[in-house]
Structure 1
Amino acid sequence: MGSALDPRSLASARRSNRQLMLLLPMFLPAHALTLDLLLRESVGRGLRFLLLSNDAFRSLLKNVYISAMTQLQVAVPDSEGRVMLWEQYQVRPDLPTHLTRVGCWISRAQALKSGPSSLSLVPETGTDADEGLKDTSLAVSGPLGFLKDLPQDLHERSEGLRLLLGAGVLLGPREELASRRGDLDGTTLRCMADDFQPLTIPDYGPAGDYRVTGSFVDIMAILERSLNFTCSWSRPEDRAWGALQPDGTWNGMIGDLIADKGDVIVAISRTLPREEVVDFTLPLLLDRHILVLRRPGTANSGISWSSYTQEFSSGAWAGAAMMVLFMGSCITLITRYSRSSGGHVPFTESILLILGAACQQGTKQDIQGTAGRIVLLTALLLGTVTYIHYTSFLISALSVNRLLLPFTTLAELTRVDSHQLMVLKSTVQEDVLKLSTNPVYQKAWANIQAGGEWGSVATNDVGFAKVLEGKNVYLTTESEYSYQYGGDSRILALTKEKYIAIFVSVAVTKKSQLKELFDNRLVRMRSAGLLSKILKDWGEARPPPLPNAAPPLSLAKTGSAFLLLAAGTALSLCALGMEVLVTRCLKRSALASR
């Protein structure tokens, strides 16, 4: 037995990817001690064990900790010439021991003596056939008579039996090991979760107890019922998800899991650095990141001074002003040098005359001659064209809310450099932008660093609040945006490009038996369509988007026009006051001269 347990031979067999089974005796306390030492050493992990023993194996294995995912069976002969197969495991050393009979071996003579009168014999050609008995190895279909003599707990394993005519019938478990481990003895698992809506939605009860709901919590509830455990919820003190620090340690929930402050992290994205220190279940959701920003024209403070000027660009306004000045100069020149003119019109009066004509207003000035009339007609056409373009865009800008976006992609954002980019700290997106060799991601990370403490925000609520404040852009997942702010018309998602795809799953401590137990149940849930239904139901539970109707005009948009009109009225009153003052001064001067 010494050579069989040689660590070098075991390591060599493991490197060759062969399924290695150790056949060990279990009759003496020394045998139990050897097994215990082997199970505690790393060399014994991943091996299969078959122990040959008698009825004393229960007492011999009493102090041996056999974890739930250890593939160990005990073969014990009984008084009727059969060999019973037993499995023993514990969830934790301080929890009860589970002992289950999982199979039975019956000799060839017993099987043929009590078997069916006629066997349907099919040559065995599969890879599982015993090489030495390939000619006499036959598969059995139909009922076997000896089953009535077996213990009741083995009757359900009667399907798919194999009869080896040179040996006997082996009645063993057909399901995988994780499927046979369905009881965690009601143990309490320390589950950690943070804000990742709608996967995990944190809240606090009236007594200050931490509570979590969401799609992944519903999945965990099914696992609780299936595996007989309960969850106690907590969140990390530093509110971080888990990032590798310069000193080689981990912060956030990953750090707490490594430090044995928790057993499970519910809803966390997988990365290669994280997979080196913790284990992940199979992926449950594929998510991507998008850019969100405040919708243009939805400023929540003050009056919008651009509501009545954004219709034309600065160049267009300058062009219109140049046309008015040019036409006013033409009127002044024409009325000064034309013989058919009714009198000279000063330049200032000419400007007012052109503006009046552009606004389709008549004038008392006697403009005679072809040249003058052409200029007035041109001014009228200028006013008409300008009015048509201005009003059409004004209606669209005030009612339809046409979007004038400064950028639509991350690359354009880095070129424009007009907004501050933000990410959630200690997350996958922060690590990807920090370590990526992609030039766009490198510029994006420089933008984040330039923002100081607001480049990496602590929570999603802070990120979305900063978006509503002004020129800030938040890189977040599609699921979080859709569930939390998909119905908020103030926030706009840029979906032209999507970034940083992530797989979200459940994390457990490294080499934890929970991984295989969870994966086994999650595969069943996925096959039954239960996972997709839960995720879909929570996705549809988000608030409905606002109707796509034109909103009524607000004071924020019309206030600037009202203030300008009031200023014009006030200017006319000032002009009236000045006129009255000048008139009185002239009268006093006239009286004084007399």
Structure 2
Amino acid sequence: MTVAMVSDDPVFLATLAEWSIKDHLLPWSTRLLVLTRLPLGRLNNIRRTLSMTKSILLLFTQSSTLSATLFVDLPYSPEGTQPLAVGFWSPEKGLHTTSSFLFYSKKFSMLAHRPRLVVSRVVLGTEKTITIDDPDFPGQKKIIGVNAENELIETIAKAMNFTTKFVRPADGHWGYLDSDGTWTGMIGMVHRGEADIALGLFTMTPQRHTVVDFTFPVAISYARILSARSAPEVNLWGFLLPLSTEVWVAILAALGVLMLFMMVPSCLPHQTLTRTRLLTSAYSCVRVFLQQDLIKKQDWWWWERVVLGVWMLITVVLTDSYAGNLVSLLAIRTISESIQSLQDLIDNPIQVLTVKGTAEEDAFRTATSGLKKQVWDLEKQNRLRGIPADEMEGVTEILLSSYAAIINLEVYQKKRMAKEFSRRGKCIFSLSRSRYVPSLESMAGAKNNPLIPALAHKVMQLTEGGLYNHWQSVFFPNLTVCLSAPTKIAITSALAIRNIWGMFIVLAGGYILGLAALCLECCFKGALRHNIF
């Protein structure tokens, strides 16, 4: 849409220009054509509007011959800079351009005066910062973050011809709507005009979109739970693990059936074997299973030899399989991952951490039902704590020194895991499998600021070209190492008593049963006087 404004009244032009900016009457997509006979010196009140919109100024000369000069005000022009004359019009010659600058071009694609834009950012605990000499302002220092986001904005700055000045919000927050109706953090700085760009991975939300505009998404992310990995644990009943439960049941059932089979002849009408021999044969099955020698007899029947021989073969295979697996399993330690969902946070007596001023925290704070509401209610039990974004450096020690977990965007959780892996050489954190609060992450700028569409175009080019992901891998080379860390590890050290003490419990239980049997035999000695054994 093209809007033509014709007036020689400076008050009218100034008022309309003020309303256009204050009430966003002229979005970037609208083309504005201003026709006036006022001299340039009386148009200073509207030049900011002209510079921040797709506008052309037609300044008619007050002479006998009708003619007009076409001017374009460039954005972020220094004070006192004259607008750029781009053409001339007259009834005789028509329109004649005097500059290669296109009339309705994207003025923000290449900023002519190399302005210094204020970039609001919060340095997270997962990031490294360095102080360097500012090449654009000799004698001044510049603090930059060594991360993919900083590389992204610096690359865009070179492409669009501007420099950056990083500032930190006083509260250290990303930005949320406070109870008094004001915006905090980086979002608040952009909304109040204290910063041109808010640098970071901001979650796009309808509430934030009412006060800021977002660039093309840099990433798609989710909120996940990060907690410390537990120490390797030894399974008390690990000596039972070489064989599955079904195999143990099958072995005991086979032993019982075999013992009954050995006693079948005792049920025949004319017993050919004495009862004592039958019980001895049945007991031999148990001795074979326990790898003991057989009772020496001179009159073994062939059917007994065949049955016991087959049972010996099966027992040899089972015991060798059991021994081989047991050696492997005794060298395995299990690492439990108890915190995998919001329900785990609720059920376990764990301290829950969130990042203040983030959309993820807001999703839990505004929940009216479900698990998110239950997690937020942990605040009443002093189990929920919010941490400002610029104090995230101490989160690692909190997670390692106490029973705690943090809910944050997975991209930052991965960075923390990668940073600690690079420093310690091992994975010390566990990331939950469950994901929450899916979101589009991008940079933010002032509402209806035409700089944002130009930034969005550059961001789209860089992200679709894979440069952002490349920078992530460069600055965090171990970004994915701990995502699939094993939950079982092999130990090559000597076995300790804690590794096999479950077997001693079984031994102690056998002693107790033997003692109980001894007591029973002593009590019923008279009844056992005619023992058939």
Matched residue type, 1:219: L
Secondary structure of the 1:156 match is: coil
1:429 pairs, out of 344, 360, 365, with: 360
Unaligned 5+ runs, structure 1:
1-17, 26-30, 112-145, 158-171, 571-594
* Alignment partner of 1:191 is 2:120: yes
Cα distance change on mapping 1:478 and 1:224 into 2, 3 Å: same
Q: What is the CA distance between 1:282 and its match in structure 2?
A: 3.0
Change (3 A) 1:39 1:89: farther
User: How many corresponding residue pairs?
Assistant: 468
User: How many angstroms apart in 2 are the aligned matches of 1:87 and 1:195?
Assistant: 41
CA distance in 2, matches of 1:76, 1:231: 36
Query: Any idea what SS the aligned residue of 1:99 has?
Result: coil
User: Aligned equivalents of 1:457 and 1:321: distance in 2?
Assistant: 56
The one-letter code sitting in structure 1 at the alignment partner of 2:374 is A
CA distance 1:73–1:255, shift in 2 (3 Å):
closer
Aligned residue number for residue 68 of structure 2: 83
Shift of residue 457, structure 1, vs aligned partner: 5.8
Unmatched 5+ stretches in structure 2 = 134-140, 266-272, 509-533
* Alignment-derived partner of residue 485 in structure 1: 417
**Match in the other structure for 1:104:** 87
- Per-residue CA shift, 1:14-66, capped at 9, x if unaligned? xxxx64332121xxxxx334433333334584183514125x322x2346662
> Which residue type is aligned with residue 224 of structure 1?
A
Aligned equivalent of 2:106 = 176
Aligned positions of 1:451-466 closer than 5 A? 455=384, 458=387
Say whether the 8 Å CA contact 1:420–1:448 is kept in structure 2.
no
> What corresponds to 1:286 in structure 2?
220
The whole-number CA distance in structure 2 between the counterparts of 1:261 and 1:303 is 57
Question: Match of 1:38?
Answer: 16
Contact 2:120 2:167 in 1 (8 A): yes
Change (3 A) 1:104 1:155: closer
Shift of residue 450 of structure 1? 4.0
Following TM superposition, by how much is the alpha carbon of 1:220 offset from its aligned partner in structure 2, in angstroms?
1.4
After superposition, give the CA deviation of every residue in 1:501-533 in whole Å (9 maximum; x if it has no partner).
21111123445x3xx214214414534x57634
Give the direction of change, closer, same or farther, for the CA distance of 1:421–1:320 in structure 2 (3 Å limit). Answer: farther
- With structure 1 as the length reference, what TM-score do the two structures score? 0.59
Task: Select which of 446, 450, 458 maps to 2:374.
Answer: 446
Q: Which residue of 1 aligns with 2:531?
A: none
Amino acid in structure 1 at the alignment position of 2:121 = M
What is the rounded CA distance, in whole Å, between the counterparts of 1:287 and 1:329 in structure 2? 64
Are 1:289 and 1:501, in contact at CA under 8 Å, matched by a contact in 2? yes
Q: Does 1:232 align with 2:158?
A: no
Higher RCO by CA contacts (8 Å cutoff, separation 6 or greater)? 2
Distance 1:450-1:232 versus aligned 2 partners, 3 A rule: closer
C-alpha spacing 1:73/1:444, structure 2 compared with 1 (3 Å): closer
Alignment partner of 2:108: what SS? helix
Contact 1:287 1:477 in 2 (8 A): yes
Query: CA 1:520–1:381 in 2, change beyond 3 Å: closer, same or farther?
Result: same
SS at match of 1:283: coil
Q: Which residue number corresponds to residue 221 of structure 1?
A: 154
Query: What does residue 498 of structure 2 align with?
Result: 560
**1:104 aligns to what SS in structure 2?**
strand
Q: CA RMSD in A?
A: 5.6
Structure 2 residue 52 is the aligned partner of structure 1 residue 69: yes
Structure 1 residue 195 displacement after superposition? 2.6
CA distance 1:98–1:283, change in 2 (3 Å): farther
What does 1:213-362 correspond to in 2, within 5 Å? 213-225=146-158, 226-234=160-168, 237=171, 239-246=172-179, 248-255=181-188, 257-258=190-191, 262-267=195-200, 268-290=202-224, 299-300=230-231, 305=236, 307-308=238-239, 310-311=241-242, 339=274, 341=276, 357-362=288-293
Report the AA paired with residue 69 of structure 1. M
Deviates more, 1:483-492 or 1:95-104: 483-492
What is the CA–CA distance in structure 2 between the aligned matches of 1:224 and 1:270, rounded to whole Å? Answer: 23
Q: Label 1:287 to 1:306 Cα distance change in 2 as closer, same or farther (>3 A).
A: same
Deviation for aligned residue 1:360? 2.3
Q: Which residue of 1 aligns with 2:472?
A: 539
In structure 2, do the counterparts of structure 1 residues 557 and 247 end up closer, same or farther at CA, with 3 Å as the change threshold? Answer: farther
- Matches of 2:371 and 2:485 in 1, distance apart? 36
Work out whether residues 423 and 430 of structure 1, in 8 Å CA contact, stay in contact via their aligned partners in 2. Answer: no
Distance 1:492 1:520, change over 3 A: same
Q: Is the 8 A contact 2:445 2:452 kept in 1?
A: no
Question: 1:375-390 counterparts in 2 under 5 A?
Answer: 384=316, 387=319, 390=322
Corresponding residue SS for 1:288: strand
Q: Secondary structure, in 3 states, of the residue corresponding to 1:242?
A: coil
Instruction: Mark the CA change 1:74 to 1:256 in structure 2 (over 3 Å): closer, same or farther.
Output: closer
Q: Is the 1:307–1:560 Cα contact (8 Å) retained in structure 2?
A: no
1:57 to 24, 35, 40: 40
Distance across 1 between alignment mates of 2:120 and 2:175: 15
Give the counterpart letter for 2:363 in structure 1. V
Paired amino acid for 2:175 = G
Aligned-pair CA distance for 1:97: 3.9
Would the aligned equivalents of 1:203 and 1:212 in 2 still touch at CA under 8 Å?
yes
* Structure-2 residue corresponding to 1:156: 100
Q: Which of 504, 520, 527 is the equivalent residue of 2:454?
A: 520
Alpha-carbon distance between aligned partners in 2 of 1:283 and 1:21, rounded to the nearest angstrom: 35
* Closer, same or farther: CA 473–506 of 1 in aligned 2, 3 Å: same
> Could you say what secondary structure the match of 1:193 adopts?
coil
Structure 1 pair 354/249, CA: closer, same or farther in 2 (3 Å)?
farther
Alpha-carbon distance between aligned partners in 2 of 1:471 and 1:378, rounded to the nearest angstrom:
55
* 2:116 aligned partner, one-letter code: G
Aligned mates of 2:120, 2:299 — CA distance in 1 = 91
Contact 2:58-2:69 at 8 Å conserved across structures: yes
Q: Is the 8 A contact 1:88 1:100 kept in 2?
A: yes
Is the CA contact 2:34–2:55 (under 8 Å) kept in the aligned structure 1?
Answer: yes
CA deviation map 1:454-484 (0-9, x unaligned) = 5456366676767778987655444334444
Could you tell me how far 1:102 is from its partner in structure 2?
4.3
SS of alignment partner, residue 536 of structure 1: helix
What's the CA shift string for 1:122-180, capped at 9, x where partnerless? xxxxxxxxxxxxxxxxxxxxxxxx96xx7xxx2425xxxxxxxxxxxxxx614134347
Change (3 A) 1:327 1:278: same
Identity of aligned residues (%): 13
Q: Is the alpha carbon distance of 1:418 and 1:84 closer, same or farther for their aligned partners in structure 2, counting shifts above 3 Å?
A: same
